[in-house]
């Protein structure tokens, strides 16, 4: 895949089953049998044809010990690495729910497309490692997609906690993060290893700088946000179908 060849095969990565399921139903995707990735990696994969696109969805599977979804950067990078290796997609999309910063124009229910990713919980104050820790990676420009679909855009910051420390807030503020979640920077790192283009599409479930605890707002708005993704992601697929990365 180069910037000048048309997009035909898309890999959509989600952390949680509740985020992925509405889209899987809407696109009538079928659970892969056998699974695209054989164990012990816990990710779960679905595939199907949508218009002219081959579409594949993976979510991170459940934690066998705690019976909850494997959220966070470690499972996200494992799923991304193995599914990209198995599929050789033309485009990877990291989709899911996220917190939004009202200071950067975010409101609950918004859909954001990432312009770059950073990490806010990898603080290593040693020359060289400090920048490595932030791990800033630019996303491919998608001005046409953003305008056509009416999505907001901004910097996405990832970390392994649903809450945050003062230091996390300071780092997110200094990078003008609009979106806070737990996977995108890890997936971007893997996509960079494979030289695969990544678009991040995030639906806002909670406002980080809004005064209410993230977990309360997140649980209240998770199903609404998953339904918003059920609408937003097919529009993204329709828009990218047959286009080149340079057309986006």
Active site residues: 19, 206
Q: Could you say whether residue 169 binds ligand SAH (CB under 6 A)? A: no
Q: Where would I find the beta strands (DSSP E) of the chain?
A: 9-14, 30-31, 44-50, 53-59, 91-100, 111-119, 137-138, 152-158, 177-181, 198-207
Tokens of 139: 């996303």
Q: Are 41 and 80 in contact (CB under 8 A)?
A: no
Question: Measured from the CB of residue 25, what is the shortest distance to ligand SAH in angstroms?
Answer: 19
Query: What is the pattern of x (binds ligand SAH, CB under 6 A) and - over residues 124-163?
Result: --------------------------------------x-
Among 78, 91, 208, 229, binds ligand SAH (CB under 6 A): 208
**CA dist., res. 77 & res. 230, Å (int):** 23
Among 7, 16, 23, 237, binds ligand SAH (CB under 6 A): 16
Q: Would you say 204 or 248 has its CB closer to ligand SAH?
A: 204
Question: Measured from the CB of residue 50, what is the shortest distance to ligand SAH in angstroms?
Answer: 24
Angle, helices 214-240/17-26, rounded to nearest 10 degrees: 30
Among 81, 180, 187, 230, binds ligand SAH (CB under 6 A): 180
Q: Could you say whether residue 215 binds ligand SAH (CB under 6 A)? A: yes
Closest CA to 145 of 10, 243, 50: 243
Q: Could you say whether residue 205 binds ligand SAH (CB under 6 A)? A: yes
**CA dist., res. 196 & res. 151, Å (int):** 22
Question: Measured from the CB of residue 159, what is the shortest distance to ligand SAH in angstroms?
Answer: 7
CA distances from 107 to 17, 99, 101, 205 (A): 23, 9, 8, 9
Q: Would you say 20 or 245 has its CB closer to ligand SAH?
A: 20
Strands 9-14, 30-31: pairing is unpaired
Question: Which residues 95-124 are close enough to bind ligand SAH by CB under 6 A?
Answer: 96-99
Q: Could you say whether residue 182 binds ligand SAH (CB under 6 A)? A: yes
Q: Could you say whether residue 15 binds ligand SAH (CB under 6 A)? A: yes
Q: Could you say whether residue 221 binds ligand SAH (CB under 6 A)? A: no
Q: Are 152 and 243 in contact (CB under 8 A)?
A: no
- Contact set with ligand SAH (CB under 6 A): 15-16, 71, 96-99, 162, 180-183, 205-206, 208, 214-215, 218
């Amino acid at each position: 895949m180069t910037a000048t060849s048309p997009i035909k095969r898309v890999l959509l990565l989600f952390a949680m089953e509740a985020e992925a399921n509405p889209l899987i139903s809407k696109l009538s995707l079928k659970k892969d049998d056998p699974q695209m990735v054989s164990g012990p990696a816990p990710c779960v994969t679905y595939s199907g044809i949508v218009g002219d696109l081959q579409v594949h969805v993976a979510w991170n599977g459940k934690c066998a010990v705690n019976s909850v979804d494997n959220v966070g950067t470690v499972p996200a990078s494992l799923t991304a690495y193995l599914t990209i290796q198995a599929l050789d997609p033309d485009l990877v999309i990291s989709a899911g729910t996220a917190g939004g910063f009202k200071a950067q124009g975010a409101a609950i229910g918004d859909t954001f497309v990432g312009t770059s990713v950073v990490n806010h919980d990898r603080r290593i104050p040693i020359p060289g490692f400090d920048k490595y820790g932030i791990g800033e990676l630019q996303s491919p420009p998608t001005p046409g997609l953003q305008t056509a679909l009416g999505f907001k855009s901004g910097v996405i910051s990832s970390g392994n906690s649903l809450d945050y420390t003062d230091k996390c807030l300071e780092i997110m503020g200094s990078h003008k993060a609009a979106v806070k979640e737990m996977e995108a920077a890890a997936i971007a790192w893997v996509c960079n290893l494979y030289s695969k283009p990544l678009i991040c599409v995030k639906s806002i479930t909670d406002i980080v700088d809004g005064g209410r605890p993230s977990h309360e707002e997140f649980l209240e708005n998770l199903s609404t946000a998953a339904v918003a993704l059920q609408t937003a992601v097919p529009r993204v697929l329709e828009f990218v179908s047959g286009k080149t990365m340079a057309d986006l």
